[in-house]
Structure 1
């Protein structure tokens, strides 16, 4: 132990509070931005490095897996080295890894540097969350969570916009290099403003076996999800082996963690009802949200003719709405039970998804934007409400552990969702295309009229049939997208019921009914 227990430093005020909050928010923004900024740039990166687009997706997966595995280390690192040192070191290492990603000379080097970038950024989200809560007065915890949630949910939307614009107008390396000046500024401001508020440290052993088991089962599961579609899933021996390794590794990891004296992940937090319900609801809702973040740009670019930049711009108004409404969410959360605001957020998400389920192939830019404006309303309340539910009743000393575990599950759920969503989307497209093919025939009058129209334009038979096949594929992907939007809406509506099993929660830190 670094010394006798001391009184916690007084909350910051005025300009110092605003400056440090902005710096911590920038740290969160950078990390979350890098989970999506490469999504729309994969074709460009793959083409420049001379690899296929499927190989290029490892640029996304390598970051997600290493980041998910590193997040649970946050609690141990903060107890061992202090919250401020851990966060600042994480930002600096992330900045260095970002620079190396921009300097990558082939796919292997880029993937290696992305693994380093993901691992280095593990403590950034839970660290910024814990430090924000520490520098705000307890009665204004809702404001702290609003700042944190605003950056966490806006960044995935800004990622495709920035990634698309950079890919269309500059070299793809700049999607990583833009982190360098921001990271240096964030680290400098946070160290200067928070080094005198360092938390106490404690020399505790690291749970190396628990960490190794975590790496094995999360890594195996992510690789299985990413490669399963191309390998025909469980028809492949490799996929079966990965599934068994993941399942056995997960069971062994849980058993080890609940019996280990100093676990890498403190699973005893799940004995708190609010924490369990908050983590479950936020992770599932985030998985649905992230799946939609992945699907919409793909649909727009691959089948509706949008450029990477315009596909990103579709989501821009949603981020603006979230930014504008987040301060209102903070004020509401200080007076209203978080279960009500969580329910409102889920309802708004559902309305957004159901609006998308009514889109057509000839939908305009505005038709795509309107549902995302409603999503922006949902985003402004989402994290504030669910984090308030999850963290209320958790001892202040355990908030970094709780934050790390919450973010580990949420990030992992989002990563898994990205893989599962694209698989589901392609499966539904294949189903709809086969049904459309069964319903059409060369002798069908509609088909004959379409061929006649193309022939009149001078299009030969082979090319005309290819054009009609592409049109059929576009219709199939339209129907597959609508299926996913409907499913998203109903799943989010079901989540409304789950939050009412939690105790009444207010942002000031009180949980009515206890913390069991």
Structure 2
């Protein structure tokens, strides 16, 4: 097998596993709440903690990949993810599960941070969109199977929800051995460059404190302590930006934002993640709460979104290789925005046939956006900056998803009394006796915000520069990979 295809196959397994475990947990959350007798707060952080570690570590690991080798860290990711999965399967309470999910998230961060850079290193410029699109299909396949498997595995006799983590172990062991045996570095590590511990601390502290304040306040009613946590978090994030602008070797290279193609791609990526990050969570609780459906049925009903996403991934990646990313990505955002606003009209009596239309549209829009946008971002930087560019892109996506989850939870939690929310989150029969009208109003507000975020992403996406800019960047790529110097394109038509 040609080496680039070995890379694609292995990276595809990593993407599949990481996304699978995110979605399978969404479906299983109500069962986990009941079995572990845990709180809504712990249940939310079983989901958010995983993504938080991703967001916090992606930049640092992207930077470490540039310095010490992308493949080395990627291979380690399989081992850490597998161990984390095993630990999650034996958790005895909600707190233990949250902690072990952090370990699992660290493994996922090692896999995600450099995956796009490793693919970009292995494939020539005219094949990268297709490769990334194929990898996107694997991730989305993990999403689809996670939705189905979440219901099936959760119903496993004796083992129950723990099976959703145990299933990762044999796959992880195989992938770890294969990765260590077959993958090797194609880029030259920048051994002389320093790391950025101050940047890591300010970013991790800022994001964590802000989200803690947001979720704690939503549950118990916002007080001065919650607002204080959020304020300190925001101040630390401001400090992070100031630190990154002043040090020599930042983990987030702010200078890359001078490149219009990179800036447009990465800003639209963040806003798109903010728009779609909580879609599955909100719909799962809509199906299992007000509609009183079981986990397997809820997972199956969400499949059309993921199938549409899968179908568009490689097609949009291929088309972006030929015609450029700007048009495809921007149209995809518009379609997604329309779908989210459509979702804002659903009620407890809306037939599933009417839900299918916005669900498929959201999948089509997301599929049109993601692969071309990632290829555009990676094509906009020289080979030596792909690790940090990949980390920056993945970090902002994770931050967008986290904010989407946090804001959505806050809206739901402040709309209904806590016992009602706990009942809805657990999918309990008691939810049948309560007024779900306020909860449905909260869902409408959430989807309106999602639609606004998706339409807001249209502006940076459309201003990134067209196919001529991409061609110039790819020409520079060839010069750099052949050992000749070339500046980074800053934009223009």
TM-score normalised by L of structure 1: 0.83
Corresponding residue for 1:359?
346
Distance in 2 of aligned mates of 1:111 and 1:134:
35
Q: 1:179 aligns with which of 168, 171, 174?
A: 168
Corresponding residue for 1:500?
462
For each residue in 1:274-324, what CA deviation from the matched residue of structure 2 results, as whole angstroms up to 9, or x when unmatched? 222211111111111112222111111110121111111112122223323
For each residue in 1:127-153, what CA deviation from the matched residue of structure 2 results, as whole angstroms up to 9, or x when unmatched? 111111111121111112212333344
Distance in 2 of aligned mates of 1:270 and 1:105:
45
Q: Does the C-alpha gap of structure 1 residues 224 and 162 become closer, same or farther in structure 2, counting only changes over 3 Å?
A: farther
Moved more, 349-358 or 177-186: 349-358
**Structure with the greater alpha carbon radius of gyration:** 1
Corresponding residue for 2:241?
254
1:328 aligns with 2:303: no
1:139 aligns with 2:133: no
How do 1:401-416 residues align onto structure 2 when only pairs under 5 Å count?
401-416=388-403
Corresponding residue for 1:205?
194
Corresponding residue for 2:360?
373
Corresponding residue for 2:490?
515
Distance in 2 of aligned mates of 1:106 and 1:429:
26
Q: 2:207 aligns with which of 218, 231, 239?
A: 218
For each residue in 1:473-497, what CA deviation from the matched residue of structure 2 results, as whole angstroms up to 9, or x when unmatched? 2334334333433443344234323
For each residue in 1:376-406, what CA deviation from the matched residue of structure 2 results, as whole angstroms up to 9, or x when unmatched? 2223221122223333331121011011011
The offset of 1:201, in angstroms, is: 5.0
Corresponding residue for 2:426?
none
Corresponding residue for 1:240?
227
Distance in 1 of aligned mates of 2:433 and 2:21:
36
Distance in 1 of aligned mates of 2:85 and 2:303:
24
Corresponding residue for 2:40?
53
Corresponding residue for 1:279?
266
How do 1:425-444 residues align onto structure 2 when only pairs under 5 Å count?
425-427=412-414
Q: Does the C-alpha gap of structure 1 residues 111 and 226 become closer, same or farther in structure 2, counting only changes over 3 Å?
A: same
Q: 1:307 aligns with which of 294, 299, 321?
A: 294
In structure 1, runs of 5+ residues without a counterpart are 1-13, 434-465
Contact 1:341–1:385 (CA<8 Å) still a contact in 2? yes
For each residue in 1:396-453, what CA deviation from the matched residue of structure 2 results, as whole angstroms up to 9, or x when unmatched? 21011011011111101101110101222454669xx9xxxxxxxxxxxxxxxxxxxx
Contact 2:88–2:162 (CA<8 Å) still a contact in 1? yes
Corresponding residue for 2:153?
166
Corresponding residue for 1:36?
23
Q: 2:78 aligns with which of 68, 78, 91?
A: 91
Moved more, 277-286 or 492-501: 492-501
Q: 2:217 aligns with which of 228, 234, 238?
A: 228
Distance in 2 of aligned mates of 1:285 and 1:498:
11
Corresponding residue for 1:124?
111
Distance in 2 of aligned mates of 1:508 and 1:150:
24
Distance in 2 of aligned mates of 1:377 and 1:424:
27
The offset of 1:230, in angstroms, is: 1.5
For each residue in 1:198-227, what CA deviation from the matched residue of structure 2 results, as whole angstroms up to 9, or x when unmatched? 643515433222222222112111211221
Q: 1:482 aligns with which of 441, 444, 453?
A: 444
Moved more, 404-413 or 111-120: 111-120
Distance in 2 of aligned mates of 1:489 and 1:135:
36
Q: Does the C-alpha gap of structure 1 residues 494 and 72 become closer, same or farther in structure 2, counting only changes over 3 Å?
A: closer
Corresponding residue for 2:477?
none
The offset of 1:508, in angstroms, is: 6.5
Distance in 1 of aligned mates of 2:432 and 2:67:
63
Q: 1:190 aligns with which of 165, 171, 179?
A: 179
The offset of 1:68, in angstroms, is: 1.3
Q: Does the C-alpha gap of structure 1 residues 139 and 507 become closer, same or farther in structure 2, counting only changes over 3 Å?
A: farther
Aligned residue pair count = 465
Moved more, 35-44 or 22-31: 35-44
The offset of 1:506, in angstroms, is: 7.2
Distance in 1 of aligned mates of 2:275 and 2:34:
30
Distance in 2 of aligned mates of 1:59 and 1:112:
8
Q: 1:389 aligns with which of 376, 380, 402?
A: 376
Moved more, 402-411 or 78-87: 78-87
Q: Does the C-alpha gap of structure 1 residues 506 and 69 become closer, same or farther in structure 2, counting only changes over 3 Å?
A: farther
| SS of residue in 2 equivalent to 1:173 | helix
Moved more, 199-208 or 139-148: 199-208
Corresponding residue for 2:482?
none
Tell me which stretches of 4 or more aligned residues in structure 1 moved more than 6 Å: 466-469
The offset of 1:330, in angstroms, is: 2.4
